[in-house]
Amino acid sequence: EVQLVESGGGLVQPGGSLRLSCVGSGFIFNNYWMSWVRQTPGKGLEWVANIKQDGSEIYYVDSVKGRFTISRDNGKKSLYLQMNSLRAEDTAVYYCARFDKTGDGYNGPAGRWFHPWGQGTLVTVSS
């Protein structure tokens, strides 16, 4: 069974830092792109970051660029999200997800989706 398990969430003050971890099992971790997606009651689901199998390509949503860093350790089948300079609006449940993709948009339609998802870890930024 493919499984993703996050950890590392908690309460942190504005301006503080937190590191999230995600361990994958049941699939060949280093064969897949991986992602972080967050969810808040107000903004709903928001893609945060992606990382290629070997870490050579990384992408972020604009709102976290320069503050968050996604990384992975394929030997440990682990994905990480280092979050610095945290703000109240970063408060959310953070999900780790495997990122599946097909097509490049040039030679046919591109398809991108998240599957499966971990159970999520809650990050609360508050004083």
Partner 1 sequence: DIQMTQSPSTLSASIGDRVTITCRASQSLSSWLAWYQQKPGKAPKLLIYKTTILDSGVPSRFSGSGSGTEFTLTISSLQPDDFATYYCQQSNRPYTFGQGTKLEIK
Considering only 16-24, 75-83, 84-92, 98-106, which stretch makes contact with partner 1 by CB under 8 A? Answer: 98-106
Q: What is the 3-state secondary structure (H, E, C) of the chain?
A: CCEEEEECCEEECCCCCEEEEEEEECCCHHHCEEEEEEEECCCEEEEEEEECCCCCCEEECHHHCCCEEEEEEHHHCEEEEEECCCCHHHCEEEEEEEEEEECCCCCCCCEEEEEEECCCEEEEECC
Residues 14-73 that bind partner 1 (CB under 8 A): 44-47, 50, 59, 61-62
What's the closest the beta carbon of residue 114 comes to partner 1, in angstroms?
A: 7
Q: Which is nearer to partner 1, 15 or 122 (by Cβ)?
A: 122
Among 8, 52, 53, 100, binds partner 1 (CB under 8 A): 100
CB of 16 vs partner 1, minimal distance in Å: 25
Give the burial string for 13-25 (b: 16+ CB within 10 Å, else e). Answer: eeeeebebbbbbe
Using rule CB under 8 A, residue 95 touches partner 1: yes
Mark the segment that binds partner 1 (CB under 8 A) among 25-33, 71-79, 80-88, 109-117. 109-117
Interface residues toward partner 1, by CB under 8 A: 44-47, 50, 59, 61-62, 95, 100, 102-103, 105, 109-120
